[in-house]
Copies of this chain bind each other. A is one copy, B any other.
């Protein structure tokens, strides 16, 4: 085989080789010339085109299906035809009669190249789907899972060659599949004899080829042909645990689901959980147990949904912020609660899943992505893997807003990362009428610039508050508070309509213009909804949002300085928060730097997507390990300029930075100076690690 990517290459070939049929595999576009009679599967493998096979060419597993694209592919100088592939032989016929072989499909192990071909490796089915399409990102994940299923037929015991059953099986796995120096999970050793005999000397071994030992490991063993294996990708968030259940053979996502992190009962946010550990001798253990139990429960849920046995799960990838990461692994997170915020371990880790009490197959492995820094965890590593600043030329800003925002900025040349102590304001805490995103919460707000009258939308209600029938529709859920996305919007709208100054002060003079501006002690509030409860935005609420957004922006600014750039090319909001906020309002508020609004995208649970990528392709594990090693970590607390950036970022959008691209689409108010705009930084820093 010769890889045939340029015609120049071809002209340098020997005459005979040039006459060999040319085979193009789609959608990878890889192609090469192969002698007549080469099995399609062998051709694909030699080009690095991923085609699964469990039975090893016995035409029994059906995993290696492909189809021929007929036609004249002028661009590739290929005339592809079903005449250029060997006719269906007895092995394929037998498979088609026993199982099912869709029209046009061929078993690549049993069909040979007779002439030029364009071969389609199916992407979209349970069988042979080579890719996973992630709705949120529409990204293709090439499959190269750590676990491979390998069917072998083992020699029966022979008194003349008294090699043990296991040893003969290993010999066959080497002979048929090329596995050298195979190890075996200890729990399987006592089972080998029984499984071999039950399978009448034919077994399927699950080989894990991404053990940290670097030697391949037999992690599962079944009598006869075992044709499916699953994996789990999991993101442990402080509030929510999110999980994908996926076929390791086809890449198909079988189920995706989430569950509350039960650690909430020990503390709402991260730092209160660290405090709980510090105050309670059994606190760490209790929280470790809680999160592991929740994960086991969630595995049960996705398995029920996908109708699979949890013991068919053979591989797992887990991400989480540093405190979730430590608690999940049973590590005391106390050090993360105080400077120097020392991680117990930062590198990627591998376990047997049972070692951390996860109830799946006894031979399942669990891979934890590396942590980037004390407050930039394996979740940020997952998001980085997913969004790939390191894979592109654009300067990408990746932000995951939580109690601590994790910020990554970079491109192919260089990636820097930091965390910023935004506090819980964006999540509705510290806000007088704040609440979690739940039915009844206001999620969208618009303020009429003339009348200063608001209109809003409530979660669970289709209509805007000024539309007919809203009151009736909202009666069921009520109007109970403001959630994170609406907090951003209402403050931004208050700024755009002049209710607050650039410095965030509610203009009491406006009270004359609108009854919505109401006095509240020495300051003024904005009455958003005069119901039960009465929902207002107070001066303190605005200060809380300013502190939060200033902390985030200051962190971003430090990273931009490290990179030596005065703008970013593209912005990704990761996490639930980012999915609901309107990029325009985030920018009006000065949460993020100026950028083409089309380049600001919410990417949902990017950490979970990264975990999924590392699950489906072990190459991505090496990629993120290497990337994290290279990422330069900035500790915002140690940067002398943080304070200055922070103070500037208290203003809306910013005291010094221009927002020219934003200004193209939004008319920003003239600067309007009022008293009381110096507060902030000092107080903020004291709470910085909450």
Determine whether the beta carbon of B158 is less than 8 Å from that of A340: yes
A-B interface, 8 closest residue pairs, ranked by CB to CB distance from nearest: A213-B213, A164-B346, A157-B342, A162-B373, A164-B343, A159-B635, A166-B345, A164-B345
Determine whether the beta carbon of B342 is less than 8 Å from that of A167: no
Cβ of A195 to closest chain B Cβ, rounded Å:
11
Determine whether A464 belongs to the interface, using a CB cutoff of 8 Å to chain B: no
The size class of the interface chain A forms with chain B is 35 or more
A518 and B628 CA atoms in complex are apart in Å by 91
Determine whether A335 belongs to the interface, using a CB cutoff of 8 Å to chain B: yes
Determine whether the beta carbon of A633 is less than 8 Å from that of B162: yes
> Interface digits, A631-645 against B, CB 8 Å rule (1 contact, 0 not)?
001010110000000
Determine whether the beta carbon of A347 is less than 8 Å from that of B164: yes
Determine whether A95 belongs to the interface, using a CB cutoff of 8 Å to chain B: no
Cβ of A205 to closest chain B Cβ, rounded Å:
14
Closest residue on chain B to residue A193 by CB atoms: B344
Give the residue of B163, B194, B344 whose beta carbon is less than 8 angstroms from that of A166. B344
Give the residue of B211, B355, B373 whose beta carbon is less than 8 angstroms from that of A186. B355
Determine whether A686 belongs to the interface, using a CB cutoff of 8 Å to chain B: no
Give the residue of B192, B344, B352, B376 whose beta carbon is less than 8 angstroms from that of A192. B344
Taking beta carbons and an 8 Å cutoff, which residues of A are in contact with B? Answer: 156-167, 170, 183, 186, 189-190, 192-194, 211-215, 329-332, 335, 339-347, 349, 351-352, 355, 371-374, 376, 633, 635, 637-638
Q: How many copies does the complex hold?
A: 2
Closest residue on chain B to residue A166 by CB atoms: B345
Cβ of A384 to closest chain B Cβ, rounded Å:
15
Residues of the B chain whose Cβ atoms lie less than 8 Å from the Cβ of A374: 159, 162
A340 and B159 CA atoms in complex are apart in Å by 5
Cβ of A355 to closest chain B Cβ, rounded Å:
5
Given contacts A156-B340, A214-B215, list 8 more A-B pairs with CB under 8 A: A160-B635, A162-B635, A164-B371, A165-B345, A166-B345, A170-B347, A190-B330, A190-B331
Give the residue of B170, B186, B329 whose beta carbon is less than 8 angstroms from that of A190. B329
Closest residue on chain B to residue A170 by CB atoms: B347
A635 and B170 CA atoms in complex are apart in Å by 23
Residues of the B chain whose Cβ atoms lie less than 8 Å from the Cβ of A373: 162
Closest residue on chain B to residue A339 by CB atoms: B159
